[in-house]
């Protein structure tokens, strides 16, 4: 699966937190997806390297790859430096056991407007250490409320201050399409992965992906224009229903394939 395509389709294991890892693998394979982002909270607990190795092997055996380790490490939020280093070592160990090319981390524990200058400096320092110690594994921040990436300007400034740091992107809750796309453009050169879902206008209203088809068509066009490999992972489906995954995967693949074809025809990246 995947071949030489720049844009690949997958699923985040948090989509189905209550299900065992093997069931998530079976669902992803049946839906024709390329990869799985394995989450720390339900499927790859820190400290259980044996389980991470087992899940990685089962993922590969099903013809899938691991796109990332979705950690819940919050850079700069752990007060005890020794505990912070221990947690990060466990995160790295899990990612290496999964043979994950990327680790998702969180940019602190407060929103950009609430974080004090000292908290921001501490978060940036921790992110630099993550990048410096991760070796060939990319470190990418979740694009999320209550962190330094809750605002595209703050996210851009953070990326500029931490060389080598990458980021995810997802549409902020309640933000209209044009504003969400403006935010994506602000960080596009550092986006390696996107979380794909259609919540509108609040997280309580979870729709099929095509409910916001216009948004996702433009998102994948922008991603394709970079000429880089980008992992697009379905993160939530309506009702958390396993039966929804195949249809959502088909919708996502349709958008990705159309964007790849347009890029092949043009031959050069768009802006």
Give per-residue pLDDT as tens, 215-230: 999 999 999 999 999 9
Question: Is 1 inside a domain boundary?
Answer: no
Residue in this structure with the two tokens 């950690």, named with its chain if needed = 71
Q: Residue 213: which residues within 8 A CB-CB, separation 6 or more?
A: 251, 255
pLDDT of residue 2: 40
CB 7 within 8 A of CB 232: yes
pLDDT of residue 8: 97
Per the structure block, which two tokens stand in for 254?
């349709």
pLDDT of residue 265: 56
Question: Is 169 inside a domain boundary?
Answer: yes
- What does the alpha-carbon distance between residue 237 and residue 16 come to, in Å, rounded to a whole number? 9
pLDDT of residue 3: 45
Which uninterrupted H or E stretch holds 25? helix 21-30
Nearest Cα neighbor of 28 from 246, 202, 193, 195 is: 246
- What does the alpha-carbon distance between residue 106 and residue 184 come to, in Å, rounded to a whole number? 18
User: Peptide bond preceding 239: is omega within 30 degrees of 0, i.e. cis?
Assistant: no
pLDDT grade for 4, boundaries at 50, 70 and 90: low
pLDDT grade for 130, boundaries at 50, 70 and 90: very high
pLDDT tens string 43-67: 999 999 999 999 999 999 999 999 9
Question: Is 2 inside a domain boundary?
Answer: no
DSSP-based three-state secondary structure for 175: coil
CB 68 within 8 A of CB 34: no
DSSP-based three-state secondary structure for 130: helix
Q: Indicate if the pLDDT at residue 28 is higher than 90.
A: yes
* Core vs surface per residue 244-268: b (16+ CB within 10 A) or e: bbeebbebbbbbbeebbeebeeeee
pLDDT of residue 262: 74
Per the structure block, which two tokens stand in for 113?
């407007």
pLDDT grade for 1, boundaries at 50, 70 and 90: very low
Average pLDDT score over the chain: 95
Q: Percent of the chain at pLDDT above 90?
A: 93
CATH number of the domain bearing residue 252: 3.20.20.150
| Total of domains in the chain | 1
Question: Is 257 inside a domain boundary?
Answer: yes
- Domain range for 63 is 7-266
- For strands 35-39 and 65-74, give the pairing: parallel
Question: Is 139 inside a domain boundary?
Answer: yes
pLDDT of residue 266: 61
pLDDT of residue 267: 57
pLDDT of residue 261: 78
């Amino acid at each position: 699966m995947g071949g030489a395509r720049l844009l690949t389709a997958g699923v985040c294991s948090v989509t189905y937190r209550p299900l065992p890892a093997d069931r998530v693998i079976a669902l992803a394979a049946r839906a024709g997806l390329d990869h799985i982002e394995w989450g720390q909270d339900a499927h790859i607990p820190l400290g259980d390297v044996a389980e991470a190795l087992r899940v990685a092997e089962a993922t590969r055996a099903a013809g899938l790859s691991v796109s990332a380790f979705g950690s819940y490490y919050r850079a700069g939020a752990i007060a005890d430096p020794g505990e912070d280093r221990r947690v990060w070592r466990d995160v790295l160990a899990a990612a290496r056991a999964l043979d994950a090319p990327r680790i998702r981390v969180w940019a602190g524990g407060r929103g950009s407007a609430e974080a004090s200058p000292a908290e921001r400096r501490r978060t940036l320092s921790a992110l630099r250490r993550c990048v410096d110690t991760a070796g060939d594994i990319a470190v990418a921040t979740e694009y999320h409320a209550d962190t330094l990436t809750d605002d595209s300007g703050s996210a851009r400034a953070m990326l500029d201050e931490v060389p080598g740091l990458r980021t995810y992107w997802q549409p902020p809750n309640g933000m209209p399409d044009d504003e969400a796309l403006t935010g994506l453009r602000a960080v596009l050169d550092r986006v390696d992965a996107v979380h794909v879902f259609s919540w509108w206008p609040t997280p309580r209203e979870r729709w099929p992906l095509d409910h916001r088809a216009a948004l996702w068509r433009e998102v994948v066009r922008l991603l394709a224009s970079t000429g880089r490999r980008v992992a697009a992972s379905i993160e939530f489906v309506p009702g958390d229903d396993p039966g929804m995954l195949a249809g959502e995967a088909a919708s996502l693949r349709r958008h990705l394939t159309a964007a790849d074809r347009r890029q092949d025809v043009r031959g050069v990246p768009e802006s």
